[in-house]
Structure 1
Amino acid sequence: MQTAHVQALEAKHATLDQRIHDESQRPMPDNAVIADLKKQKLRLKEEIVAAH
């Protein structure tokens, strides 16, 4: 069973994924913003894996 902490991390991960998608779909996406969001998403993923 997942803890509330892991569920919160997964929710943040999904939010970042959506933000990356939204930024990518803009007429002139900001690659620096996308790179930063991807780094945040990777950190969350590592934290989720460590919590399991």
Structure 2
Amino acid sequence: MQSTAHQIALETKHATIDRRIADETGRPHPDTAILADLKKQKLRLKEEIVSL
């Protein structure tokens, strides 16, 4: 049961980061450093979700 709650929490964080990436990309002058950091965070979360 805990792993399911953990997985849901990770998926929620992943979706939040995805929205932040979309928001930053939609800006007239997106900050490439912020985008790179968000994409790294998203990838780490995705890897952790897959490992479950």
Give TM-score scaled by structure 2 length: 0.93
SS at match of 1:3: helix
Q: Hey, which bits of structure 1, 4+ residues long, moved more than 3 A?
A: none
Q: 1:1-52 maps to which residues of 2 (within 5 A)? A: 3-51=4-52
Deviation at 1:3, TM superposition (A): 0.3
Structure 1 runs not aligned, ≥5 long: none
- What is the number of residues matched between the two proteins? 51
Deviation per residue, 1:19-41 (Å, 9 max, x gap): 00000001110011000000000
> In 2, distance between residues paired with 1:27 and 1:42?
25
Give TM-score scaled by structure 1 length: 0.93
What is the percent sequence identity of the aligned residues? 71
CA RMSD of aligned residues (A): 1.4
Structure 2 runs not aligned, ≥5 long: none
